[in-house]
Structure 1
């Protein structure tokens, strides 16, 4: 189970995120980026954050530590923004926090470098979880103390918003043309060889057990939270077995040209020795 803390002070909203997360201080003297159950995206965004964050950490990728945060909405009564006030009022009780990394910089692919091995591991992980939001437009990566940190996994596992599609989604390919690390010659073969065997039923069961039960309750089509947990395990386990062979990096498909922007295609082609298409 994730550690649990209680928010003691609401510091400021982070308006870069669509869900309007906020920085809070907690009774363990820690500072956290808090994501709210009352946000428009709903509790499944927080479920995705827990599953992907905890899975990434177990695979050796850097993700800020996650905690459960109890929120009394009264701590935000001094906040002048009515939108924030409404969010706090709608989010009393259990929410999710990520350790705040002071001084971290947003990753810029034109300013920072990463090696092919790390790029491959991140791209493979994002393919596994179907992350549509780690693009060159919105990297969702931080550089902290010279190392790459993964953040914001709310836009992963899109299939859990429509469970009847999960089985088909498990076999679906992943177009990494827009991925922010696509131009760093990601070593996907090495990543798959290393990471795929580590995605076991036991590991996934441990990961999904960290999701609070109340965030899985009353899911249509399931007889309770444990059945929902098993569905996550089944889908991710099946996807891990096949996704390594179904990742594309800006290549032309059979029926259309590359969807990558020109500067990405130029760098990709430079890495592979191909001419621009």
Structure 2
């Protein structure tokens, strides 16, 4: 690392809270080193209160850009100069690119999710999904899945500050895609069980299962799952979440954490910043 960094090194960040658990620095810095690119990637614990100053710093420090994660993916929108069409449709950003002081927001989460399934030889086009969570990641996953051809999506969300976004997401899917979406409150447990039972894939895009909720899961009964379905938890720290444990107990064949999604969304962001293709196979071996 000391031989690679110099006075011309460009900084890229990751702004979220909590974030010290992230594997993104390992992923991106290893890819930079492998390709001989003069960039450095660091994490910064940034919540909504610090976000405005942090985004200003991207311009002030002439950073090449930054990733953005919870709880900032939607709050960052009005702080940017431009939005990629997909980010505007989704209403969330996870990647910022700085072009000489002009900050453009992109979203690569949904792309990463769909690509991770394709990497495993799984195709959910024409199928039904049940999705928990309508925050930044959940919205990106839901809308990207709808754009890519998923037939139905049942969305479950808390009736809290993210409920309006869940409503907007549902309306966007129904108005802008060929997919049919229905929104439920997460407290509707009978509906939650029934929708999962009729879905090919259940995806949890909430923070349940990661610190400080490592021992929690929205689905605790293995009987809710079938062996022939897909259970996908976007959390990757811990590597085996409580939800995954429940799915394994049910004998579910295809159970995922968020590592492959993280890798693929990172590869898309890497290309936006550098114009180069991330050496994905090399990074996968390092991470997994």
> How high is the TM-score relative to the length of structure 1?
0.30
Q: Which has the higher contact order (CA 8 A, sep 6+)?
A: 1
> How high is the TM-score relative to the length of structure 2?
0.29
